[in-house]
Amino acid sequence: MTKLCRCLLVIFFFGPLYGAASELDRLTFITEHYPPYNYLDERELKGSSVGILEAMLQHAGSTTETTDIRVLPWARGYDTTLLTPDAVLFSTTRTSAREDLFQWVGPLAAGRVVLLARKDSNISIQNQEALQNGNVSMVVIGEDIGAQKLLESGVNAARMHTAVNNESAMNMLVANRVNLWAYGEDVAHWLLRKHGHDPDDFETVYVLSQDPLYFAINRDTDPAVVERLQQILDDLRVRGKIPPIE
């Protein structure tokens, strides 16, 4: 085989991989403390969505590592992704209200956002009208899907208390300073267990949404890069390298 042929073979087999890697290396990945999907454990970033991203980057031959992922408070990460080309925020609930704000790659996981109450509060919310007209207080995170869904449902913002983070929101509900916590159900239960509370002492009294979690990507990012990310995710799922969405 001539030297020229060997070079052409190298380009044929490895060129697309290196190209994909350089495309992905342009991206800035942003996440928050949202267990069990993405969270810091003794300064190490873990979670099912982090594992999916790691598999995608490895598949593409990217030099980006977990330590390169920025961990920010949710509202700051959300606003940064809205304003910064090549920024990617995860895990983000994909909803109709957010659809045109980002480009999307996923799904990463099923999502269920609820209103959680202490069982001893005996709160019951049967429908949206009862949600709108009730006098119960709620804690939310700024720019979080729980807050957005409550506003979309016609709940007066004056009834909502904005916490700085999810642990603060949890503590407000546990201490009975608010009646309800609007948040991801799986995440709320994880946090309660983590901090020594029994999730069975709390109950879901209303489901706000059941929308999947995605990578949310800034609108000005090259669509070809977004498409490449989706292709990698789909390929890994077909190969059984990442779990299916249940």
Q: Is the pTM of this model over 0.95?
A: no
User: Could you give the CA distance from residue 128 to residue 194 in angstroms, rounded to a whole number?
Assistant: 32
Which structure tokens are listed for 151?
A: 């506003």
Helix axes 48-60, 223-238, angle to 10 degrees: 110
Which structure tokens are listed for 131?
A: 């949600």
Same domain, 55 and 150: no
Reduced to 3 states (helix: H, G, I; strand: E, B; else coil), residue 133 is helix
The pLDDT assigned to 47 comes to: 96
Same domain, 75 and 41: yes
Q: How many domains does the chain have?
A: 2
- Give the structural domain span for 220: 3-111+212-238
The pLDDT assigned to 8 comes to: 36
106 near 240, Cβ under 8 Å? no
Q: Could you tell me if residue 183 is inside a domain?
A: yes
The CA-to-CA distance between both ends of the chain, in Å, stands at 50
32 near 82, Cβ under 8 Å? no
Q: Could you tell me if residue 244 is inside a domain?
A: no
Contacts of 41 (CB under 8 A, 6+ apart): none
User: Could you give the CA distance from residue 72 to residue 70 in angstroms, rounded to a whole number?
Assistant: 6
Buried b (16+ CB within 10 A) or exposed e, 89-118: bbbbbbbeebeeebbbbbbbbebbbbbbbb
User: Could you give the CA distance from residue 64 to residue 55 in angstroms, rounded to a whole number?
Assistant: 11
Which structure tokens are listed for 97?
A: 């209200």
Same domain, 158 and 218: no
Same domain, 87 and 24: yes
Digit-by-digit pLDDT tens for the chain (246 residues) are 544 444 433 333 333 444 556 689 999 999 999 999 999 999 899 999 999 999 999 999 999 999 999 999 999 999 999 999 999 999 999 999 999 999 999 999 998 999 999 999 999 999 999 999 989 999 999 989 999 999 999 999 999 999 999 999 999 999 999 999 999 999 999 999 999 999 999 999 999 999 999 999 999 999 999 999 999 999 999 999 998 886
Q: Could you tell me if residue 243 is inside a domain?
A: no
Q: Could you tell me if residue 179 is inside a domain?
A: yes
Closest by alpha carbon to 143, among 245, 43, 230, 216? 216
| CATH code, 100 | 3.40.190.10
Q: Could you tell me if residue 193 is inside a domain?
A: yes
The pLDDT assigned to 22 comes to: 64
Same domain, 140 and 76: no
Same domain, 124 and 66: no
Same domain, 20 and 140: no
Q: Could you tell me if residue 245 is inside a domain?
A: no
Same domain, 66 and 176: no
Same domain, 221 and 105: yes
91 near 32, Cβ under 8 Å? no
The pLDDT assigned to 13 comes to: 36
